[in-house]
Amino acid sequence: MPSTRTSPSFPDAEYWDRIEKTRAAMEASGIEVLVISDPSNMSWISGYDGWSFYVHQAVILGMEGEPIWWGRGIDLAGALRTVFMEEDNIFGYEDTYVQNPDKHPMEDLARILDAMGWGQGRIGIELDNYYFSGKAYTTLLARLPKAELIDATGIVNWQRAVKSDTELTYMRRAAAIVEAMHARIVELAEPGLPKHQLVAEIYHTGISGVGGHWGDYPAIVPMAPSGLDATAPHLTWDDTPLRTGETTFFEIAGAHRRYQCPQSRTLFLGKPPQKYLDATKAVEEAKNAALEKAKPGNRCEDVANAFNMALEAHGYVKDNRCGYPIGISYPPDWGERTMSFRKGDRTVLQPGMTFHLMPGLWLDDGGIEITEPILITETGVEKLCNTPGGLTVKV
């Protein structure tokens, strides 16, 4: 069956540029073939896009020719619909390998790697990856006894750091979507509104899209904790109603063609106490200090140090990172898992890098998140969203 690819996100030439960059990194690490199992990396290198990451799958990249897509047999048609490679480079394993304690899909992958001449080579694998299990590793070890398995975690992730013009177009569309999502929250939120109904509206707005550009599913579900729940950063929602006198922060993302643009805002219903006004002022000043340092040539830690110094001047201490890179992503995370805005990260900022600047404070009776998706430009920084800042108050 020939390729039936109908809606490619990128021209083939862009995939080949990505492959060339990745192969240079492989060569520098002494890797002959790379097994890419992170679905974000699989998509970035090949175009593959499907909700099949609950079973073992991978893109195999050697030093010559097209990559190889490998996955569950019933997902072959999905690969033909989305990858840029020809049919000869698409392989599926039969279904008795799926969730069978007596067999493992990595047995089939080992057979393919051996047949391709890599059975005694230096094989890179993404060891520290949500989608590569301990059983997968031990199976490859057993089935490829003459190969050298090398930890290649992050090799592809780092090639994704500087975005192309088309990638930035998709991220700007995602940014417009998350702006609309926040505007919808402000429009609808009121005391007594059950949280799950508001989240349903957030999803509706996010998937409907903006300006003729459709919304994709976010890599993380909306986080919308209120009151004491908002003292923690990663709680989602339930059916409790919004209440006067409580904060609710909304950490949500717009998404388009798998490109993620997260942004957080905090809502207070009623008259906020002075402690929340003070905390908001501290967060905003620290955020602005960080933005001043977010420019090419500076390091990630320069951004973090500026943020933390400004925050500490107001008497607050944040002992976790205040930002991370974003781009193409699949559940369970919208970050790229490379650099971080924190002390000690000396990665140099370059034009085309995109980050989620994440200045969150979690207090004793609630939390404040006022975050920004940003782009490092040739001369400084661009906020990708125009969502109003500060604490959102509805009396």
Q: What is the pLDDT of residue 1?
A: 45
The residue ranking higher by pLDDT, 363 or 252, is: 252
Q: In this structure, are residues 224 and 233 in contact, taking their beta carbons and an 8 Å threshold?
A: no
Q: Is residue 2 part of a domain?
A: no
Q: What is the dihedral of CA 333, 291, 295, 219, to 10 degrees?
A: 10
In the predicted model, is pLDDT for residue 133 greater than 60? yes
Q: What is the pLDDT of residue 141?
A: 97
In the predicted model, is pLDDT for residue 57 greater than 80? yes
SS3 5: coil
In the predicted model, is pLDDT for residue 5 greater than 80? no
Q: Is residue 301 part of a domain?
A: yes
Give the model confidence (pLDDT) of 215-263 as tens digits.
999 999 999 999 999 998 899 999 999 999 999 999 999 999 999 999 9
CATH of the domain at 69: 3.40.350.10
Sign for the pseudo-dihedral over CA of 182, 250, 222, 134: positive
Strands (E), the chain: 33-36, 58-61, 68-72, 90-93, 122-125, 148-151, 247-256, 259-269, 323-325, 354-357, 360-362, 367-369, 372-376, 381-383, 392-394
Q: What is the pLDDT of residue 318?
A: 86
| Residue 322: closest CA among 288, 272, 353, 273 | 288
> Mean pLDDT, to the nearest integer, of 293-308?
98
Same domain? 278 vs 223: yes
Same domain? 152 vs 171: no
Quick one: pLDDT band at residue 3, thresholds 50, 70, 90? low
Q: In this structure, are residues 27 and 63 in contact, taking their beta carbons and an 8 Å threshold?
A: yes
Same domain? 145 vs 248: no
> Mean pLDDT, to the nearest integer, of 58-64?
98
Give the model confidence (pLDDT) of 79-92 as tens digits.
999 999 999 999 99
Q: What is the pLDDT of residue 159?
A: 98
Q: Is residue 1 part of a domain?
A: no
Sign for the pseudo-dihedral over CA of 146, 149, 150, 156: positive
As a whole number of Å, the CA-based R_g of the chain is 23
- Which of 112, 144, 159 delimits the end of a domain? 159
Mean of all residue pLDDT scores within the chain: 96
* Two tokens, residue 377: 């430009």
Q: φ and ψ at 3, to 5 degrees?
A: -60, 140
Quick one: pLDDT band at residue 332, thresholds 50, 70, 90? very high
In the predicted model, is pLDDT for residue 307 greater than 70? yes
Q: Is residue 317 part of a domain?
A: yes
Give the model confidence (pLDDT) of 172-189 as tens digits.
999 999 999 999 999 999
Same domain? 134 vs 169: no
Burial of 79 (0-12, 13-18, 19+ CB in 10 A): buried
Question: Which helix (H) or strand (E) is 37 found in, with range?
Answer: none
Q: What is the pLDDT of residue 6?
A: 67
In the predicted model, is pLDDT for residue 4 greater than 80? no
Q: What is the pLDDT of residue 363?
A: 87
The total domain count for the chain is 2
Q: What is the pLDDT of residue 2?
A: 46
- Which of 110, 142, 159 delimits the end of a domain? 159
Q: In this structure, are residues 265 and 182 in contact, taking their beta carbons and an 8 Å threshold?
A: yes
Same domain? 62 vs 187: no
Q: What is the pLDDT of residue 7?
A: 72
Q: In this structure, are residues 90 and 76 in contact, taking their beta carbons and an 8 Å threshold?
A: yes
Percentage of the chain beyond pLDDT 70 is 98
Q: Is residue 200 part of a domain?
A: yes
In one letter, which amino acid is 369?
A: E
83 is in which domain, residue-wise?
12-159
Same domain? 333 vs 245: yes
* Two tokens, residue 273: 């106490």
> Mean pLDDT, to the nearest integer, of 346-366?
94
